[in-house]
Amino acid sequence: MPSLDLPAINTRLAAASAEEITSFAVETFGDGLILSTSFGAQAAVMLRLVTLVKPDVPVVFVDTGYLFPETYKFADELTKRLKLNLKVYTPQVTPARLEATEGKLWESGLEGLKRYNQLFKVEPMQRALKELNATAWLAGLRAKQTDHRAQLRAVEEQDGLFKVHPILNWSGREVHEYLKKHGLPYHPLYDLGYKSIGDVHSTRAIGFGEDERAGRFGGLAQECGLHLPKTETENASAGSAGL
């Protein structure tokens, strides 16, 4: 993994555009760079932004087996349209086996939800990072989404690799304008009130005035764990994300 002066880099990128931050990541990390996507509400933004600069970037999609039918169709549409180098990773435990042996963990309070997220989201993603020899991870996190994300910078070091956030400072309006400008679609459920979309069992439409992530995880958490640090010291920040 390259040695980087993160304070200097983040100072330099503070006023940089999303395109400039993406180009920095491609130039710095090359073939060690991967992009993750959940094919959520606004996934097309990052997918287009990054593949314009690096068309062959590995795009990691963690398929929990509990996604909406519309999500799978949306994933197929964007994969074909943007010619994505898609890498699908699934949990080592099937949904049927989980429910037979441990039940519906997401119905067992915060601890059950955390175990579910570890088995069905975090472990597959960590396996992907290892198998793809990733040194840096591009993610479409935005500061206004959760308390944890509000503390992030354009480039972070987390759990032995670098994470790059090109659209960290974008507003919802900027996301909408980018999609509209380039003729890109929202997730099919977006117009039905689903502003943040994950698993069927942990996602609901939101009401007027609610935060866009209020419909996730039954109000128990803001984060699924994919983007939270794993080390003991850094995990202290998890409390700010409601975990």
- How far apart CA 49 and CA 71 sit, in angstroms, is 20
Is residue 216 within 8 Å of residue 205, measured between CB atoms? no
Q: Sign of torsion, CA 197 199 200 206?
A: negative
- How far apart CA 90 and CA 125 sit, in angstroms, is 9
The continuous run of DSSP H or E covering 61 comes out as strand 58-62
Told to judge if 58 belongs to the known catalytic residues of this protein, a careful annotator would answer: no
Is residue 42 within 8 Å of residue 139, measured between CB atoms? no
- How far apart CA 53 and CA 74 sit, in angstroms, is 22
- How far apart CA 67 and CA 59 sit, in angstroms, is 18
Residue in 134, 136, 143, 224 annotated catalytic: 224
- State which amino acid sits at residue 79: T
The continuous run of DSSP H or E covering 80 comes out as helix 69-82
What is the CB neighbour count within 10 angstroms for residue 148? 21
Q: Sign of torsion, CA 187 31 18 23?
A: negative
User: Which are the catalytic amino acids?
Assistant: 224
